[in-house]
């Protein structure tokens, strides 16, 4: 991972685009090179498959996990975010990944912290999976970006092409995602920062796909969820 | 790209529209909220109506009304919300109008929790509403199956003039998988001459009712319904065999639980225990005949459920004392591990040896 990566990375995007998996992955990678590292899960929309469900794994790797102030990591869908989130945002040294809820409705939570983000040390990335029907075209992705910016008060600074169909992903899917993201990039000026790659494609990823490859490890999916 | 990546709830909603559903009435509850959310966005685009009712009771009665007018209509909810709708189910069956009902189950009893559960098996197959009523209940185990069955459910409901239920646990609603929306098998459905569509001054009014005050008339109506249920038992029972051919140990499991059992079977076979599974795809009608085809090598049968043991009753009925029946379940939103299922199997095998 790029050492010049801004101190704070905010992941936004359509729900189901892969924000939580990528947040876990980014936080674990940061923790290999940095300390302290924190992951703030501010998803108040989704009831299942939230990054805080992997608190034990993350803490084992030295990642501080910040989630709800109610205290349950599973089983509560209350709109509660712990005030603990202010600590890493303010201390000027904790590398922090913020996993926001999906869609503008999930991103709205970010508006309450927006004044605490210093644009010079914050990357706000929009995760894009064009296999999700609501974000299948460049036009739809740009609409999504506009709506998330409007709801959160933040300016998106980059894209993650996270196009996949889980274990059924083929190279053509990643390439189709790249095509859409390139058009979005051209029209918005946003760089494609990362490309999410499922493990079985890791060694066959075609050249010419934009973004730094980052493995999709599927930390949130149990073995029995394999869809092949 | 033909396949898309969808949450179970989204796929069920899209499949309903794909299956001709044009009316949706519901009330929010986790973990099925993506269904009404999707319908609110997409149903108007399909020329249909989405309406969030003031309560579950209102929603199911709106379904009753739309179904009586001959529309393809659906409602969805989760466990306690379905409990509220059951009065309506009974009326809809009694009046012989078709609709599709989705229950994305959460932990109970009462408000329970929002994590996945299969503790509404009795509610779905025995019915909390009054009277001798039944409906076909599909229990998908993956998102593709959920989509296919939901679309087909509208054909089947129209065919029998009876509700069809899609019974998924919270995991089926919330997890994501690739899904393809394909051609739905069509039934020979007679024109809905019984629907209340306006007489146009050319015929007597149609009446949709479950009221039969004359006991002889009501009994006749009940016998007619029973004949219909018998046809459903004969023609609509569905199940999947997994590694059953030589199985000495037979699991019975549906929905999410069956996926973990499947992995447990692979592990058991690697250690030399010949395990297999009957996976009911319809939990009503329950696939009793699937048990009659089991070989003489079977030593024990075990139900695995996300409940404290409900389908296991149907397993006992189907087994008819031929083999010992065990049970393993987790409840409240807890999901069994592959390991604990393997251990439950070996423990029961030791017990019966």
Q: What is the pLDDT of residue A153?
A: 96
Same domain, B200 and B71: yes
Same domain, B221 and B245: no
Distance, in angstroms, between B145 CA and closest chain A CA?
12
Give the containing element (helix H, strand E) for B297. Answer: none
Taking contacts as CB-CB distances below 8 angstroms, the residues of chain B near A170 are none
φ, ψ dihedrals at A125, nearest 5°:
-105, 140
Number of domains in chain B: 2
Same domain, B252 and B128: no
Say if CB A161 and CB A195 are below 8 A apart: yes
Of B172, B206, B236, which residue is a domain's last? Answer: B236
Domains and CATH numbers, chain A: 8-220 (3.40.50.300)
Token output for A104: 């503008």
Q: What is the pLDDT of residue A5?
A: 79
Q: What is the pLDDT of residue A2?
A: 54
Say if CB A68 and CB A76 are below 8 A apart: yes
Say if CB B26 and CB B19 are below 8 A apart: no
Same domain, B174 and B320: no
C-alpha–C-alpha distance, residues A16 and A13, integer Å: 8
Same domain, B169 and B84: yes
Could you tell me which chain B residue has the CA closest to the CA of A15? B7
Q: Using the beta-carbon criterion (under 8 Å), do A48 and B115 form an inter-chain contact?
A: yes
ipTM score assigned to the predicted complex: 0.93
Q: What is the CATH number of the domain that holds B145?
A: 3.40.50.970
Longest Cα–Cα distance in chain B: 74
Same domain, B190 and B170: yes
Of B5, B114, B262, the CB nearest to A47: B114
Q: Using the beta-carbon criterion (under 8 Å), do A166 and B171 form an inter-chain contact?
A: no
- Please name every residue paired with A198 in a beta bridge, in sequence order, or none if there are none: A216
Mean pLDDT for the stretch of residues B296-308: 98
In 3D space, the residue among B201, B134, B135, B205 whose CA is nearest the CA of residue B164 turns out to be B135
Q: What is the pLDDT of residue B291?
A: 98
Same domain, B124 and B39: yes
Confidence of residue B128 (pLDDT cuts 50, 70, 90): confident
DSSP at B116? B
Q: What is the pLDDT of residue A4?
A: 63
Same domain, B247 and B207: no
In 3D space, the residue among B41, B52, B88 whose CA is nearest the CA of residue B67 turns out to be B88
C-alpha–C-alpha distance, residues B52 and B28, integer Å: 8
In 3D space, the residue among B138, B168, B94 whose CA is nearest the CA of residue B286 turns out to be B138
Of B187, B208, B236, which residue is a domain's last? Answer: B236
- Best probe of the A interface among B105, B141, B178, by most A CBs < 10 A, is B178
Q: What is the CATH number of the domain that holds B317?
A: 3.40.50.920
Same domain, B192 and B100: yes
C-alpha–C-alpha distance, residues B336 and B206, integer Å: 51
Say if CB B251 and CB B261 are below 8 A apart: yes
Same domain, B175 and B33: yes
Taking contacts as CB-CB distances below 8 angstroms, the residues of chain A near B113 are 75
Mean pLDDT for the stretch of residues B236-257: 98
Say if CB A18 and CB A216 are below 8 A apart: yes
Q: What is the pLDDT of residue A79?
A: 78
Q: Using the beta-carbon criterion (under 8 Å), do A76 and B114 form an inter-chain contact?
A: yes
Q: Using the beta-carbon criterion (under 8 Å), do B174 and A77 form an inter-chain contact?
A: no
In 3D space, the residue among B2, B6, B1 whose CA is nearest the CA of residue B178 turns out to be B6
Q: Using the beta-carbon criterion (under 8 Å), do B114 and A77 form an inter-chain contact?
A: yes
Residues in A lying within 8 Å of B, measured between beta carbons = 16, 46-49, 74-77, 129-133, 136, 164-166, 168, 172-173, 176, 221-225, 227
Q: Using the beta-carbon criterion (under 8 Å), do A16 and B115 form an inter-chain contact?
A: no
Give the domain range for residue B60. 4-236
Look-up: residue for tokens 């078709």? B98
- Per DSSP, helices labelled H in chain B are 8-18, 34-42, 56-68, 79-94, 121-122, 143-160, 170-174, 215-236, 255-270, 289-292, 311-319, 338-352
C-alpha–C-alpha distance, residues A172 and B205, integer Å: 58
Beginning with the edge strand found earlier in the chain, give each strand of the sheet holding B49-52 in spatial order: B49-52, B23-26, B73-77, B100-105, B164-169, B136-138, B282-284
Same domain, B225 and B250: no
Could you tell me which chain A residue has the CA closest to the CA of B179? A165
Q: What is the pLDDT of residue A113?
A: 87
Q: What is the pLDDT of residue A227?
A: 72
Taking contacts as CB-CB distances below 8 angstroms, the residues of chain A near B14 are 133
- Please name every residue paired with A155 in a beta bridge, in sequence order, or none if there are none: none
Of A75, A165, A168, the CB nearest to B115: A75
Of B220, B236, B252, which residue is a domain's last? Answer: B236
Same domain, B85 and B119: yes
Say if CB B178 and CB B149 are below 8 A apart: no
User: Contacts by B286-291 with C-beta closer than 8 Å and gap 24+?
Assistant: B286/B125, B286/B237, B286/B311, B286/B314, B286/B317, B286/B318, B287/B237, B287/B238, B287/B239, B287/B318, B288/B237, B288/B314, B288/B317, B288/B318, B289/B237, B290/B239, B290/B241, B290/B318, B291/B318, B291/B319, B291/B322
Q: What is the pLDDT of residue A61?
A: 97
Predicted confidence pLDDT, tens digits, chain A (228 residues): 554 679 999 999 999 999 999 999 999 999 999 999 999 999 988 889 999 999 999 999 999 999 987 777 777 777 788 899 999 999 999 999 999 999 999 999 999 988 889 999 999 999 999 999 999 999 999 999 999 999 999 999 999 999 999 999 999 999 999 999 999 999 999 999 999 999 899 888 878 899 999 998 899 999 899 876
Q: Percentage of residues in chain B with pLDDT exceeding 90?
A: 98
């Amino acid at each position: 991972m790029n050492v010049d990566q801004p101190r704070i990375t905010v992941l936004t995007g359509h729900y189901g685009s892969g924000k939580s998996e990528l947040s876990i992955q980014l936080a674990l990678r940061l923790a290999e090179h940095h300390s302290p590292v924190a992951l703030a899960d501010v998803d108040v929309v989704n009831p299942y498959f939230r990054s805080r469900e992997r608190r034990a794994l993350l803490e084992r790797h030295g990642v501080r996990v910040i989630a709800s102030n109610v205290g349950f990591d599973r089983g509560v869908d209350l709109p509660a975010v712990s005030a603990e989130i202010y600590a890493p945002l303010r201390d000027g040294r904790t590398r922090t990944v913020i996993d926001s809820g999906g869609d503008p409705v999930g991103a709205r939570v970010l508006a309450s912290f927006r004044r605490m983000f210093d644009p010079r040390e914050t990357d706000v990335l929009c995760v894009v999976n064009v296999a999700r029907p609501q974000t299948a075209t460049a036009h739809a992705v740009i609409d999504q970006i506009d709506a998330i910016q409007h709801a959160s008060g933040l300016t998106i600074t980059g894209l993650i092409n996270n196009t996949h169909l889980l274990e059924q992903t083929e190279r053509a899917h990643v390439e189709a995602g790249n095509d859409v993201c390139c058009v979005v990039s051209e029209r918005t000026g946003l760089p494609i920062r990362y490309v999410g790659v499922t493990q079985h494609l890791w060694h066959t990823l075609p050249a010419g796909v934009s973004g730094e490859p980052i493995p999709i490890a599927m930390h949130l999916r149990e073995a029995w969820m394999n869809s092949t | 790209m033909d396949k898309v990546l969808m949450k179970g709830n989204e796929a069920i909603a899209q499949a309903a529209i794909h299956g001709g559903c044009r009316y949706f009435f519901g009330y929010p509850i986790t973990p099925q909220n993506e269904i009404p959310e999707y319908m609110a966005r997409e149903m108007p685009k399909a020329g249909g109506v989405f309406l969030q009712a003031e309560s579950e009771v209102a929603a199911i009665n709106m379904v009753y009304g739309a179904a009586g007018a001959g529309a393809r209509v659906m409602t969805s909810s989760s466990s306690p919300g379905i409990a509220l709708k059951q009065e309506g189910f009974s009326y809809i069956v009694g009046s012989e109008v078709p609709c599709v009902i989705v229950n994305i189950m959460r932990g109970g009893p009462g408000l329970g929790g929002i994590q996945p559960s299969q503790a509404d098996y009795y509610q779905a197959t025995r019915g909390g509403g009054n009277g001798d009523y039944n409906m076909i209940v599909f229990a998908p185990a993956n998102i593709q199956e959920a989509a296919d069955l939901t679309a087909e459910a509208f054909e089947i409901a129209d065919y029998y003039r009876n509700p069809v239920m899609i019974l998924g646990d919270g995991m089926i609603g919330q997890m994501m998988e690739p899904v393809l929306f394909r051609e739905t098998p069509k039934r020979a459905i007679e024109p809905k001459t019984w629907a209340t569509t306006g007489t146009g001054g050319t015929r007597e009014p149609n009446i949709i009712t479950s009221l039969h005050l004359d006991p002889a008339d009501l009994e006749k109506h009940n016998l007619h319904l029973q004949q219909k249920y018998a046809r459903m038992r004969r023609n609509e029972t569905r199940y999947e065999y997994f590694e059953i051919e030589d199985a000495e140990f037979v699991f019975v499991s549906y929905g999410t639980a069956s996926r973990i059992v499947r992995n447990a079977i692979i592990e058991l076979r690697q250690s030399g225990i010949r395990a297999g599974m009957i996976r009911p795809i319809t939990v009503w009608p329950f696939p009793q005949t699937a048990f009659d085809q089991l070989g003489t090598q079977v030593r024990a049968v075990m139900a695995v459920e996300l409940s404290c043991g409900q389908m296991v009753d149907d397993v006992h009925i189907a087994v008819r004392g031929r083999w010992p029946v065990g049970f393993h379940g987790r409840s409240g939103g807890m999901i069994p591990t592959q390991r604990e299922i393997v251990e439950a199997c070996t423990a029961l095998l030791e017990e019966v040896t």
